């Protein structure tokens, strides 16, 4: 049975119950051994007490644990600290199944977000000939207004808001909101797409209630983009101009196709949410998201992964934040960026296939270093490299993500 590996539980292996005879020591356990444990407390801010045999351990963990839980743990190492890996129970494996089922459902439907938004905005600019279309046109304009601009992203608060409104946190925000409160979602990109889809769905249902697209599965491959993979580097996607769409058909003339395309964008946002949820389920603090940006007559995509590398959960000041960015701009082409934030300062590295692009980026290093220092950040390193960043892609040998009905 495939294992779901969580972050290791680390212990100082030096705090034991003096009322029992079993003493902790390096000879008591060996790597590869599986032991049974009982939690003595609920985990609190990453700390938990547990008992293995007659020994009580003060441990740190990235997994939520409840008091009196019975755990199966594999010994990974003894020195310098005891490392234990949680072996998931059948209940935990079953808990992961909804994520796998959601991924199977979303993968055939997902498509590029930028082409969908650019086409919707193009349609909204065409003078409509149907009065009932005004509400749809108004929702498209509201969707357009949710998109951040390049100028917005020049400031830390603008970046923070763009991340929060990217759709990744929509359901989390809704679950914490008061009844009938729309605070926090008015500019959320996924919420805006869902409102537009709902409006078009009602229109389709009224027009053909007996044979509506809502009664059939939606498969949208008009704008194929490689699907985001769990833990993989962000995918650079080219910007899409409004003029890409040369037709002047009205919104009403293509309402059925637009519904399917909107679903593809929603599916991609949902797939990013599923990847992030599975990361957290496995004890890995990695957020995956995409931010659509409006710039002049185009929609650009910034693909992002944010990782909190908890190397020592007992000392959070030793943790590292790593941000990977991918974008494809007309002036630069595909660019990958990795930003690492340490306690001592910040380091950044840029990758591109184009020597010209690397030269342009390198020419901005002094200005970048100055701006970072103005924010109180010491620059540890800035570099440019030709090619793509080296990364170990996760190898998934689990066939549970394959739909065996195909």
Q: Note whether 339 and 346 are within 8 A (CB).
A: yes
- Residue 146 pLDDT grade (very low, low, confident, very high; cuts 50, 70, 90): very high
- Domain ranges for the chain: 9-88, 96-282
Chain centroid, CA 279 distance in Å: 9
- Per-residue confidence (pLDDT) for residue 405, from 0 to 100: 28
- Residue 214 predicted with pLDDT over 70: no
- Per-residue confidence (pLDDT) for residue 24, from 0 to 100: 41
Q: Into which CATH architecture does domain 9-88 fall?
A: Beta Barrel (2.40)
Q: Is the pTM of this model over 0.75?
A: no
* Dist. CA 399–CA 405, nearest whole Å: 13
271-279: average pLDDT: 92
User: How many Cα atoms are found within 13 Å in the side-chain-facing hemisphere of 108?
Assistant: 10
Residue labelled with tokens 């009224």:
206
Chain centroid, CA 186 distance in Å: 21
- Residue 330 predicted with pLDDT over 80: yes
- Per-residue confidence (pLDDT) for residue 212, from 0 to 100: 54
- Residue 28 predicted with pLDDT over 50: yes
- E strand or H helix at 143, and its extent? helix 134-146
């Amino acid at each position: 049975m495939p294992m779901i590996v969580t972050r290791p539980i680390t212990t100082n292996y030096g705090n034991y119950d003096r009322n029992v005879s079993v003493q902790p020591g390096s000879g008591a356990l060996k790597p590869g051994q599986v032991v049974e444990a009982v939690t003595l407390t609920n985990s609190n801010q990453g700390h938990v007490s547990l008992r293995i045999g007659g020994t009580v351990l003060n441990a740190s963990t990235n997994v939520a644990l409840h008091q009196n839980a019975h755990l199966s743990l594999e010994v990974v190492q003894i020195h310098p600290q005891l490392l234990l890996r949680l072996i998931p129970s059948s209940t935990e494996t079953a808990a992961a199944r909804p994520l796998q089922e959601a991924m199977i459902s979303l993968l055939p439907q997902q498509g590029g977000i930028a082409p969908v938004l650019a086409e919707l905005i193009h349609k909204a600019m065409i003078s409509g000939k149907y009065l009932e279309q005004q509400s749809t046109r108004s929702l498209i304009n509201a969707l357009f207004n949710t998109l951040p601009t390049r100028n917005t992203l020049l400031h830390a608060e603008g970046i923070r808001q763009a991340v929060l409104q990217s759709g990744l946190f929509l359901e989390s925000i809704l679950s914490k909101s008061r009844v009938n409160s729309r605070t926090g979602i008015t500019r959320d990109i996924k919420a805006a797409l869902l409102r537009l889809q709902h409006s078009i769905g009602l229109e389709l249902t009224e027009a053909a209630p007996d044979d509506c697209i809502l009664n059939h599965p939606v498969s949208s491959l008009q704008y194929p983009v490689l699907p985001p993979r769990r833990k993989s580097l962000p995918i650079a996607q080219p910007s899409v101009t409004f003029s890409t769409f040369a037709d002047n058909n009205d919104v009403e003339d293509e309402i059925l196709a637009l519904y399917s395309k909107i679903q593809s964008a929603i599916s991609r946002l949902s797939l990013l949410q599923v990847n992030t949820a599975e990361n957290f389920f496995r004890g890995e603090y990695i957020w995956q998201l995409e931010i659509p940006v409006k710039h002049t007559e185009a929609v650009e995509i910034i693909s992002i992964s944010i990782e909190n590398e908890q190397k020592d959960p007992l000392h959070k000041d030793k943790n590292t934040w790593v941000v990977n960015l991918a974008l494809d701009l007309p002036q630069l082409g595909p660019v990958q960026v990795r930003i690492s934030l340490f306690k001592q300062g910040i380091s950044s590295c840029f990758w591109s296939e184009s020597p010209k692009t690397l030269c342009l980026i390198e020419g901005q290093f002094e200005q970048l270093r100055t701006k970072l220092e103005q924010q109180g950040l010491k620059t540890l390193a800035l570099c440019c490299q030709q090619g793509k960043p080296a990364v170990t892609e996760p190898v998934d040998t689990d066939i549970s993500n394959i739909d065996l009905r195909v």
